[in-house]
Chains A and B, each alone.
Chain A
C-alpha cells in the first residue's frame, strides 16, 4: 500500500492562487484530513490529487509513481483511486448494484459471478444488503451515502479521496457516519485524504489533520498537536475556541497588553516583538473575589470584573474584563458568579502560548 507525496503544488485561477507551494505527506494506510474554511484550497488540492485538474507547478506522487506535474498528468481513470463526492454522484439511471459494480469492470478482470459476490459482500459491510435493485432516487440520504462508500471501497483503491462527504446529512446522521467512516478506515486501511471544513469531524475521523490557509498548509499534526500546540494564530482560532491577546514582549518569557501582564510558555521571542497569546477558555480557573491565597510559580494570577455569565447546561461561559481585555472562561457547572463581581483568574503559564502576531 503506497502513500501520497505532494511537493510544491501550485494552482491558480486567473490571478488568484487556489493552492500555493503546498507540501504534504500521507503515510501508507494513513487517513489525513484537509481542514480549512471555504476558499482555502482544500477541494482544489483533492481534485489535483484525483487528476481532474492539472497543476501549474509541483508534483504529486503515489508511492514512487509520478502522477501529476506540469509536464503531464495521468488521467483520473488510470490512478487506481476512488473518490466519494459531496453530492455522492450516484448515477440515477443505475441500480445500487450497478452503481457499486461499475468500477469492477476496469483494472483487474473479475469474472461476472465474482463481481456479483464482491458487490454483495461490500453492501453487507455498509449494511445495505437487500437494496441491490433499488435506484438511488429511492434511498434516503444516509443510504445514498453508504452506496457511495461501497462503490469506492469495492474496487480496493490504492488511495481513497473524500470531498466533504457528510455535509449533506443532518446533524445526527452526520455524527453517526463519522464513526462509521472511521470504522471502515480501520477495517480496510486504505490511504485516505479527507476534505472537510468541520473541525470536530476532522478530529474524530483522521489520524492527522492538515490545516490549510490561503492555499498553503498552516500546520500538520494530530488533533491533539493542533489543539494543544497550534503553530499560528489561524490554527489556534480554527481548532477550538480560544482567547487571543495581542501583546508586546517586555522581556523573554514576559509579555504585556496595557495593564495586563502575562508570563508565557516559551521565551523565544525577543523583547519588543509583537505576539498573539492564545489562552484556551477551559485552561483558565475562575475564583470569586480577590483571593490572595492563590499564588504559584507555575501560574499567572489576574484580577478582573465579571461582565457576563451564560448557562450552557454542561458548564458556564464567563466573560471577564481584565485591565480592558475581555477573556472568555469556560467553567464547570456549579455555583454561579454574578456579573459585576470582582474575580481572580488563574492561568497556568504553560497554557499561555505566544504565537506569531500576524
Chain B
C-alpha cells in the first residue's frame, strides 16, 4: 500500500466538506421555511421587489456582456495582431483594470459622474452653461457603464490569448488558396476565435451577475436592486434567511447554466488544436488608423484607470473632494483620519491581512495538493475532483455567504462571528482560481521527472519534496499571490458574514460610504490598490511573464 495515500484521501474529503456543507444547507433551508416545501420559493418569486431585482440583474448582465465584448474584442485584436503603438502599456493598463476592485471603480465614478457634485458634470455645466448633468451614474446605464469598465478585461484576456495562439500560417494557407483578407478574417480567423468570443461574453455576464459592490453603490441609492443586493437586504433586520436562500437559487442556476454553456462552447471543434507551436505571428499594419486606434484604447483606459485613480488621489488629498485641489484645499488629514482616528480601520487592515495570508497559504496548499492528486491520479475517482473544486465558480459570493451563514450558525461548527467563517468563505471562493493555477503548474512538471526519481529509489513523498516541489515552487507562490489578491478585494461574501469584530477593508469602505467619508474611502481604496499592485509585481517577477497570459 502506498504510504502517501492518506494525504490524498484526506485532501479530497476536506474539499468535499468545504463545498457540500454550505450548499447542502442552502438547499435544505430554502425548502424548509414556514409552510415547508416550496413555500419560500413561492414567497420569494411572488415578491414584486425580487422579480424586479431579477429583471434588473438580467438587464445589467446582458448589457455588460455586450459592451464588454464591444470594447474587449477590438482591443484584444489590436494588441495581439496589429502594429498598435504602446501595446505593452495597453496590456499593463488592462492588468491594472483587471485587478481593480469594481466597487472602488464604482465609487470613483460616483465622484466623477454623480448628478450634482460629480466632477465631470460640474465641468460640463461650467463649459456649456447647461442646467442638467451630462451623465447620471445613479441609473441603470450608469451602472452598466461602471460595471463594464472592470469586466471587459475578461473578454480581452480570453480573445487576446487565443489570437496569440493562432499562427499566421493558418491564415496564409487561406491566402495562398486565393482568399482575400476580409474573407480570411471571416472564414479562418473569426471561426477560430469564436469560442473565445462566446466564452468571454459568458464570463463577463457571469461577473456582472455575481457582482455586489457596484449595484450596492450605484443602484441602491437610485432606489433599485439587483438580485445580489436584494439577497443582502434579506439579511438586514429583521433577517429572512429562508427567503435569502430561496432567492439565491435562481442566481445559482443561472451561473451554473452559463458555465455549462461556456464549457460546451469551448469543448467543441478541437479548440486545443489552436495550439500552434512555432508558427510565426505576423502583425497587421493599421496604416492611417494606427494612432486613432491608440487614442481609442487610451480613452477606454482613461475611463477605467486614469479618471478613477485620479479622482481617488484627489479626494485622498483634499479637504473637500468636490472642490479644486488648491493649496487651501490640500490636506493630509484624510490619511491621519483613516489610519489613526477611525477606529475600525486598523482592525480591518489586520483582519484583511490575517485572512489574506491564511487563505492564500491554506488555499494555495490545498489547491496544490488537489491539483497534484488529480494530475497524477492518486485516488480512485480523482477525475471527479475538478468538478467539486471548480464548483464555487458558479456560486456567487453572496450566495456562498448565505450558505456558509446557514451552515456555520448552528452546531456542530458555530463559526459565525469569528474570522473562521470568512476564512471558509474565502478558501472556497478562491479555490477554483488556485486550482487552475496549480493545475497548469503541475502539467508543466513532466511526470517522467518524478518517475525517474521513483525508479532510482525515492518514495513518492520524497519525490514530491525533492523534485516536484522545487520545480513547482514559483507556480505555487504565484497561486498564493492570486488568492491573496482575491481576498483583499473581496466584498460580496464579507458584507454578509462580517460582525463588528471581523470587519475587513472592503466592508469598512462600505461603512465609510454610509457616513459620507469620501476622503477616507479614497485613502483606504488607494492603500488596497497599493497592496494589490505590490502583489502583482511580485507575481510577475516569479512567473517571469505576463500574469494575464496565464489567467483563464
Seen from chain A, the residues whose Cβ lies within 8 Å of a Cβ on chain B are 50-52, 75-79, 81-83, 85-87, 89-93, 102-103, 105-107, 151-152, 155, 161
Contacts and interface: CB of A to CB of B under 8 A. Distances in A.
A89 to B, nearest CB: 4
B455 A77 contact: yes
A83 B452 CA distance: 7
B463 to A, nearest CB: 8
B459 A75 contact: yes
B451 A76 contact: yes
B454 A85 contact: no
B456 A106 contact: yes
B452 A85 contact: yes
A286 B462 CA distance: 65
Contacts of A86: 448
Contact of B458 (A50, A93, A106): A106
A87 B451 CA distance: 11
Interface string B418-459: 000000000000000000000000000010110111111111
Nearest to B463: A77
A93 B454 CA distance: 17
B456 A89 contact: no
A82 B460 CA distance: 16
A91 B455 CA distance: 14
Contacts of B471: 91-93
A254 to B, nearest CB: 54
Contacts of B2: 75
Nearest to B2: A75
5 contacts: A50-B455, A77-B454, A89-B448, A89-B451, A92-B471
Contact of A87 (B448, B455, B456, B467): B448
Contacts of A50: 451, 455
B457 A89 contact: no
Nearest to A52: B451
A89 B458 CA distance: 15
Nearest to B473: A93
Given A93-B470, A103-B457, A106-B456, 12 more contacts: A51-B454, A76-B454, A77-B456, A85-B451, A89-B449, A91-B449, A91-B453, A91-B467, A92-B471, A102-B458, A103-B456, A106-B458
B456 A151 contact: yes
Q: B interface, by DSSP: helix, strand, loop or mixed? A: helix
A92 B452 CA distance: 13
B457 A77 contact: yes
A266 to B, nearest CB: 45
Nearest to A76: B454
Interface string B458-483: 11100000010011000000000000
Nearest to B452: A89
A76 B455 contact: yes
| 9 A-B pairs closest in CB distance | A106-B457, A103-B456, A89-B448, A89-B452, A76-B454, A85-B448, A83-B455, A93-B470, A76-B455
A263 B454 CA distance: 56
A105 B459 CA distance: 12
A77 B459 CA distance: 6
A78 B459 CA distance: 9
A32 B459 CA distance: 28
Given A91-B467, A93-B471, A81 B448 contact: no
A91 B467 CA distance: 7
Interface size class of B (residues with CB under 8 A): 10 to 19
B216 to A, nearest CB: 48
Contacts of A106: 456-458
Contacts of B453: 91, 102
A77 B451 contact: no
Contacts of A161: 455
Contacts of A51: 454-455
B477 to A, nearest CB: 15
Contacts of A75: 2, 454, 459-460
A90 B449 CA distance: 7
Nearest to A84: B452
A93 B2 CA distance: 27
A336 to B, nearest CB: 39
A53 B288 CA distance: 62
Given A91-B467, A92-B471, A93-B471, A82 B456 contact: yes
A309 to B, nearest CB: 36
A87 B460 CA distance: 20
A158 B196 CA distance: 52
A105 to B, nearest CB: 8
B383 to A, nearest CB: 12
A89 B446 contact: yes
A82 B455 contact: yes
A56 to B, nearest CB: 15
Query: Which of A77, A81, A86, A155 counts the most chain B CB atoms within 10 A?
Result: A77
B467 A81 contact: no
Nearest to A106: B457
A151 to B, nearest CB: 7
Contacts of A78: 457
Contacts of A155: 456-457
Contact of B446 (A87, A103, A105, A107): A87
Nearest to A85: B448
Contact of A102 (B451, B456, B460, B470): B456
A52 B454 contact: yes
Contacts of A89: 446, 448-449, 451-452
Contact of B455 (A81, A90, A93, A107): A81
A79 B456 contact: no
Nearest to B449: A89
Nearest to A161: B455
B340 to A, nearest CB: 47
A144 B87 CA distance: 39
Contacts of A93: 470-471
A153 to B, nearest CB: 11
A155 B454 CA distance: 13
Most chain A CB inside 10 Å of its own CB: which residue of B455, B456, B470: B455
Contacts of B455: 50-51, 76-77, 79, 81-83, 161
B241 to A, nearest CB: 47
Nearest to B446: A87
A81 B455 CA distance: 6
B229 to A, nearest CB: 49
A77 B455 CA distance: 5
A102 B446 CA distance: 18
Contacts of B458: 77, 102, 106
A291 B264 CA distance: 71
Contacts of B452: 83, 85, 89-91, 151
A103 B451 CA distance: 12
A27 B456 CA distance: 22
Nearest to B453: A102
B7 to A, nearest CB: 15
A135 B187 CA distance: 46
A350 to B, nearest CB: 46
A284 B30 CA distance: 85
Interface string B170-209: 0000000000000000000000000000000000000000
B457 A107 contact: yes
B195 to A, nearest CB: 28
A81 B448 CA distance: 15
Contacts of B451: 50, 52, 76, 83, 85, 89
